[in-house]
Structure 1
Amino acid sequence: MLHLTATCTTVPEGYRLRVLAQGNDEPILDLPFAWDSFRPASAGHRLIEHGYMIRPDARTPEAVNGWRQVPGQPGTWSAPVIPTEHGRPATGTMVAGRLAEAVAHWTDGRHDEARQILADLARTGTPSLMYGVATGLAVMAKAALEKLQGLSGGAASWILLTPDGSSPEDILPPPHLFAARFITAHANGDTKATLALYGAAFTAPDPELLPACMDMLLAATGEAVRAATPGADR
């Protein structure tokens, strides 16, 4: 896998944000900003706008939004990044097809087969690809929910509600909450929130949290598609 690093360096005009590939001194991305100080959150957002995201595992307590000061280079910060496709990692035709197959298995009641496809993707997938898997599932979930509600694309703003009006955070287990919040954020076009949710699950101390979250996202998507399919056993 190609190793990419983003750097943000102070210059007389402000700051310069670059993306560099390992072993190549020529920047892939080179953007000037008239900032009076380093803005880690803004730098991360500008990366997303131009097709890159800070790797989720870079967001540690020692870093600032994934950025670290470069030793011996005052005024320079760096972060490992992965490529995206306009804010959304590209899954490729093969992966998209496998996701559709997994959801179809789930709607037919073949849950173990659906989970096996997800496990196969996770075993060989990069963090970028698995974020793309999560987004791909959310795309299908949103389409199914719009069909159930009789909505056209882009016509709604989505929120989380519970039957008794309590906070979702108070009653939902973490994987269920992740799936609900990820689908809702994607439906609202909130890429910042989906990245934050995936990053939090990816870097959680419990190594089983992300797989559980992805499994629940698959289940939620499969159930939404099943509910939206005419004649399905509901």
Structure 2
Amino acid sequence: MKIEGSIALVTGANRGLGAAFARGLLAAGASKVYAAARDPASVSLPGVVPVRLDVTQPEQIAALARELGEVTLLVNNAGIAEFRSLLDPNALDALHRQFETNAVGPLRLVQAFAPILAGNGGGAVINVLSVLSWLTMPGSGGYSASKAAGWALGNALRQELKAQDTELLAVHSAVIDTDMGRGAPGEKIAPEDLVQQAIAALQAGQPELLADPTTHHVHAGLVAQPRVYIGASS
């Protein structure tokens, strides 16, 4: 898909990676970028059109789809992370919140905008996932499960969307240098770098992007011995 002349909707676009996607799409020639956030007043990027969206609210998704019939690119970026033990008494509540935001919300958005994308020639969807789609670390069980679900749903949607000429790009990375990743150890990828890679991958028609060496290593470990997702042996 060509970015030049496209009309994009980016969720979670008020800061971090979402704001970087909005900036990057404008720089790549998108004719309009709708920047979605729970509070549109929190979107301060010049050149975008702020819109209200909480991805956990189906009625807001439906209303936005009725308004934005010109969209040709949907960027499912909004996400949350709550790191805690799965044995924590509040783990199920945290799991529910992460699934609603990281897996169910993006699915609802694709369902709502698929007819719009089809009517506008096919277009594309970008799903922002994570290296933790394939790996868990201490405390990441709920987040990893939500991203793994998002990955599986995206793989299924890619096959279904093919019939209407809509592409789906899954973006996986390790820690991104944003507020969400600020306290995490290790090297971090700049959000601008990730966006540039995602735009290039989309324009090349790729189905999946592994954005950094850590993600490549973990992905390769899915078929290694021992499997990377088993974790360290005691």
- TM value normalised by structure 2: 0.31
Find the structure with the greater CA-based Rg. 1
